[in-house]
């Protein structure tokens, strides 16, 4: 069950996801509530498990590897468990999500070079049960609120 959040909690979370080090006074000013109210709301969000932690986001010059791609995959259902185990063994696999629609899975890959990505895509396409793949290379992130 998804916990209910009011508009103020949603604004606080958006500010923290953009920069978890945003000072409480800045949040209070932007949300138009008292500083002590922000502190209490953040503590409540942490206690409820909505905020699980805080992290560090590296600058783009420090991020490795340099090439990331989304790979839509259509697979034979009977081969899915084995395919998932194979993808889990690849160090380049960042995420694998079951999705609805024309494809069955959305895979996110991280590779050092485009050549590595190309070889990996050939390897994935040749795996038993893979019917079709469609790849989009990530050029840049315009908004990044992903968990760290």
Task: Spell out the domains of the chain, with CATH numbers in brackets.
Answer: 7-47 (1.10.10), 67-137 (3.30.70.920)
pLDDT, one tens digit per residue, over 15-48 is 998 889 999 999 999 999 999 999 999 999 999 9
Q: How many CB atoms lie within 10 A of CB 38?
A: 23
pLDDT, one tens digit per residue, over 94-116 is 999 999 999 999 999 999 899 99
pLDDT, one tens digit per residue, over 64-103 is 557 999 999 999 999 999 999 999 999 999 999 999 999 9
The pLDDT value recorded for residue 144 is: 76
Phi, psi of 47 (to 5 degrees): -65, -35
Residues 6 or more apart whose Cβ sits within 8 Å of residue 80: 104, 129
DSSP string, 52-80: --------TTT-S--EEEEEEEEE-GGGH
Read off the tokens for 129. 């049960």
């Amino acid at each position: 069950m998804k916990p209910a959040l009011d508009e103020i909690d949603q604004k606080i979370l958006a500010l923290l996801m953009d920069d978890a080090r945003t000072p409480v006074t800045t949040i209070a000013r932007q949300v138009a509530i008292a500083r002590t109210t922000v502190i209490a709301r953040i503590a409540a969000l942490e206690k409820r498990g909505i905020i699980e932690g805080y992290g560090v986001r590296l600058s783009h010059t420090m991020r490795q590897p340099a090439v990331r791609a989304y790979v839509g995959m259509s697979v034979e259902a009977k081969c899915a468990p084995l395919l998932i185990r194979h993808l889990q063994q690849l160090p380049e696999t960042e995420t694998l999500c079951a999705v609805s629609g024309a494809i069955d899975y959305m895979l996110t890959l991280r590779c050092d070079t485009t050549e590595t990505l190309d070889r990996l895509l050939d390897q994935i396409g040749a795996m038993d049960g893979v019917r079709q793949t469609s790849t989009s290379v990530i050029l840049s992130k315009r908004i990044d609120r992903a968990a760290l």
